[in-house]
Structure 1
Amino acid sequence: MKKLMDVIRISCLILISSAMLAAQSITVSGKVTDAQSGENLPGVNVLLKGSAAGVTTDLDGNYTIKLPSLKGILVFSYIGMTKKEVPIKGRSVIDVQLEADVAQLSEVVVTDRSVRNIFSKRKVASYQADQSYWPIPAESPYPQANTEDYEGLDENTFQEATQNPLSTFSIDVDAASYSNMRRFINNGQNPPKDAVRIEEMINYFNYDYKQPTGQDPFSINTEVSQAPWNEKHQLVHIGLQGKVIPTQNLPASNLVFLLDVSGSMFAQNKLPLLKSGLKMLVDQLREEDKVSIVVYAGAAGCVLPPTSGKEKGKIIEALQNLQAGGSTAGGAGIELAYKIAKENFMQEGNNRIILATDGDFNVGASSNEAMEDLIEAKRKEGVFLTVLGFGMGNYKDSKMEILADKGNGNYAYIDNILEAKKVLVNEFGGTLFTIAKDVKIQVEFNPANVTAYRLIGYENRKLNNEDFNNDKKDAGELGSGHTVTALYEIIPKGVDSYFKPIDDLKYQQNKPKTEKVTYGDELLTVKFRYKAPDGEVSKLIVTTVENTAKSLDKTSENFRWSAAVATYGMLLKDSDYIENGDYQLVTDLAKSAKGKDENGYRIEFIKLVESSSLLAKN
């Protein structure tokens, strides 16, 4: 009898344990498609109503969400689609079709200088053709403790051309500010003003510049027109186009994935998204490429020794096994990553660390200054750095931007799986392969035609004028196929502007006595310096811009698009320099310059502007 009771007790324990395990691992999965076309919808936000549980659909529209029970309501939301709530009712497989929210859509035509709405609604078939890249709303609409950190930046002011004719800065191909801003807007919030870096918003987009044809690794493109936000002022557009190197011709890579697996990375939009993104990157690797994986939490360790890109399964398995937990010792992880990169250094290859983190370095060398010193000490060994930021709530933007800037690399914020695809697949060559380093720009303004000028953005990229010729001074890098765009707002000579930095002088008339007539038609001169990726001596390129401005409706789509993005950034920053401009101006200008938009990034931008307009009204 006793034995029988023991068997019963053991059986009950097994049943209880099995039930507890099952309760902990209940999952609901399914596929989300477009009700009109039947196409899979990647990036749909799937939330358990009234809880913090949430995921996004993958590139094939599939999702799997862990739930405490098979009860409750799943909420499916997607920009441009009508939100749908679906009761679970005990089902473990739920496929959903979403309907287009047609009322959100509009269409425009360009007539001379004006851009006019011609329809208040749009046909769904036409809508589908344009919306291949909709953003993903932030995964957690519930309140969170916010300890995000951004560097304080004051907007560049107008400089008088007679007193300060030179403007010098480092290029910046980072685009983290744009995707971070998008995350705020999609979550129904305005971004902090310091989170908006206008140059990064402009450079999020590719521009249709001509490919370089000579020995230099980039082409130079310039254009002048009126500033949309102040018709008395002019806007100068300067664009660089990096040479595109086909993937098969890129040098072999020695990559070290340096991954934050601390407790702060537990959320779905952090470590799980990180792993999904890096899996896509691994799919791009070739046999000659090598990958190592270093992780850090309370301590740092190597979980994958150098492994050929041919062994994709082994690399992906190592990524899949990662779990979040512990505090963050970022300094130790970076030290180990550089050590492994140095041990496997490829003399003619691409040696790079890819750091993926939320930037919450709260153990070890955690101050910005200490981390900056650490990276600067390693930079000269030929190992570059790419920084990928993830998450929200305790996101440390300022720390990650410093690491990338000082590590001769780039910085991106990954807010969803499609942004991961953009950075790590679509822009694979530009993200990982540098074609020119220490790229500097110096502009000299002709005081005969320019009263004052203002560089839009690049506040934390400005250099001293003497730094331009100093080859020891670090500057930005240009990747394969990357474009870089910079804008200057100009007060032309003879224009009476409220924004003039100083009044005309009584005793010094600022009239150059030796002004050369041959320069009278020049607005400015642009000088560029750059080094080869493994070079130490820079090369100089000089070009001039004539004092000829087109009307805004005659400018290129490149010009109008960059002007629209700049105006939007100034509105988000509540800029003092907007005289006449609102979200409708941005929308009209952007729609007139949308162009081909093969990936849908520009139509997404227009939807963000419309969302900002609604936020402003509310």
Structure 2
Amino acid sequence: MELASLPPANLVFLVDVSGSMDQDDKLPLVKAGLKLLVKQLRPQDHVALVAYAGAAGLVLPPTSGSQPQVILHAINRLQAGGSTAGGAGLRLAYATAMQRFNKEGNNRVILATDGDFNVGESSDQAMEQLIVDQRESGVFLTVLGCGRGNLRDARMETLADKGNGNYAYLDNLDEAGRVLVAQFGGTLFTLAKDVKLQVEFNPARVANYRLVGYENRLLEAEDFNNDRKDAGELGAGHTVTALYEIVPVGSPQPLIDNLKYQTSPAASPGQPNPQSEVLTVKLRYKEPQGNSSKLLAQTLAGPPTAIASATPDFRFAAAVAQFGMLLRQSEQRGSATWAATEQAGQRRPRHRPRRLPGRAWCASCASPRA
């Protein structure tokens, strides 16, 4: 989406200024990133700034994007020190966002932290419940993680999920620019919420399958049609890559014994498949302010193709997934080796891969646009 066509933004920067943020790759990086974001603001956008350490405080009341110097001056005043009262900061940030709530706009809290909460609602359950309660107001949550050592990556991703928002890790200023400037619309403007994807394989073409990664994103099959079940959000221009390992029907080395009961006939080796479709992908989503989901579906048909003829982006994504399985010594790594992984990933994608700590592969890089 073009910047001019985006709805008015009501943003609250919630910045962790506790003692653990007093490192070059933490608070100074966050401040530099927020300054880049300020340059994107329009007169119809408003920004407030809340800081929290031992207690939470309002550093800047809601201010128009037509006053960038006032906003930048408030960011420059942030200094690290103290313990981390994350719960109090979130409460104040949400309350500040409600002061200028715009029903037709984008209302969002942007939390920047290393995730080291230790005062107030410090348990995962308490923090999650606080965010779940607040998201019903229409204020979404974006989380920016930074730093190393005490980084709570999984916790921050969970908080963003519960807050109908997204999570990004900032490791340098280039990444901050990519997240907050190049992907400004996707990071801060939700186009679809509670997005769910379901893949159904045709047993006449696929004997077995396995999703690679995404263990913390799985839903029960019945949750796909349940509009009360919370799911992820997608912003403008976002892409997601999911990799499946499949065993074609007739494979000489199936992962498991042949099944006795089949819901549809399986093709015999050398015989034409009874159906041409390999799989169907279904996607459910809600409008940002909607409560009822819409359904999209797309089938995939055609003969199998050797991976050597796949796109460079696909081969690179597969190599990254294989690298992750080797790192974690996955039982599913099979005969994969470091040398084979290096060779498979030699042709780089067209853009710099997104770097996320603790991930087997990245959900947003190396994916062709749909």
- TM-score, reference length from structure 1: 0.55
Unaligned stretches of 5+ residues in structure 2: 361-370
SS in 2 for 1:591: coil
**More displaced 10-residue stretch of structure 1: 296-305 or 397-406:** 397-406
Residues 473-552 of structure 1 mapped to structure 2, 5 A cutoff? 473-497=229-253, 499-500=255-256, 503-505=257-259, 508-510=260-262, 512=264, 520-552=275-307
Q: Does 1:247 align with 2:14?
A: no
Per-residue CA deviation, residues 552-609 of structure 1 (Å, 9 max, x unaligned), is 22212332222122122222222221223233333333333x2543xxx15999xxx9
Per-residue CA deviation, residues 442-494 of structure 1 (Å, 9 max, x unaligned), is 11111122111101111111011111111111111111111111111101112
Per-residue CA deviation, residues 504-534 of structure 1 (Å, 9 max, x unaligned), is 35xx44364799x996122111111111111
**More displaced 10-residue stretch of structure 1: 561-570 or 268-277:** 561-570
How far is the alpha carbon of 1:408 from its aligned partner?
A: 0.6
Contact 1:449 1:547 in 2 (8 A): no
Q: Distance in 1 between matches of 2:2 and 2:355?
A: 28
How far is the alpha carbon of 1:351 from its aligned partner?
A: 0.7
Per-residue CA deviation, residues 351-388 of structure 1 (Å, 9 max, x unaligned), is 11000011111011111111111111111111111101
Q: Does 1:369 align with 2:125?
A: yes
Residues 401-420 of structure 1 mapped to structure 2, 5 A cutoff? 401-420=157-176
**Alignment-mate amino acid for residue 133 of structure 2:** A
Larger relative contact order (Cα-Cα within 8 Å, sequence gap ≥ 6): 1
Describe the shift of the 1:403–1:602 C-alpha distance in structure 2 as closer, same or farther (beyond 3 A). Answer: closer
Q: Does 1:311 align with 2:67?
A: yes
SS in 2 for 1:485: coil
- TM-score, reference length from structure 2: 0.90
Per-residue CA deviation, residues 8-61 of structure 1 (Å, 9 max, x unaligned), is xxxxxxxxxxxxxxxxxxxxxxxxxxxxxxxxxxxxxxxxxxxxxxxxxxxxxx
Match of 1:383 in 2: 139
Q: Does 1:302 align with 2:58?
A: yes
Q: Does 1:585 align with 2:337?
A: no
Contact 1:452 1:492 in 2 (8 A): yes
Match of 1:327 in 2: 83
Describe the shift of the 1:384–1:603 C-alpha distance in structure 2 as closer, same or farther (beyond 3 A). Answer: closer
Describe the shift of the 1:595–1:377 C-alpha distance in structure 2 as closer, same or farther (beyond 3 A). Answer: closer
**Alignment-mate amino acid for residue 104 of structure 2:** E
Residues 25-36 of structure 1 mapped to structure 2, 5 A cutoff? none
How far is the alpha carbon of 1:334 from its aligned partner?
A: 0.3
Contact 2:205 2:248 in 1 (8 A): yes
SS in 2 for 1:438: strand
Q: Distance in 1 between matches of 2:204 and 2:265?
A: 11
**Alignment-mate amino acid for residue 488 of structure 1:** Y
**Alignment-mate amino acid for residue 319 of structure 1:** I
Residues 349-364 of structure 1 mapped to structure 2, 5 A cutoff? 349-364=105-120
Count of matched residue pairs:
353
- Give the RMSD, CA atoms, in angstroms: 2.2
**Alignment-mate amino acid for residue 572 of structure 1:** L
**Alignment-mate amino acid for residue 364 of structure 1:** G
Larger Rg: 1
Q: Distance in 2 between matches of 1:596 and 1:392?
A: 28
Contact 2:206 2:247 in 1 (8 A): yes
Per-residue CA deviation, residues 301-356 of structure 1 (Å, 9 max, x unaligned), is 10100011111111111011111111111001101111111121111111110000
**Alignment-mate amino acid for residue 553 of structure 1:** A
Describe the shift of the 1:382–1:603 C-alpha distance in structure 2 as closer, same or farther (beyond 3 A). Answer: closer
Contact 2:16 2:84 in 1 (8 A): yes
Percent identity of equivalent pairs: 56
Displaced runs of 4 or more, over 4 A? 602-605
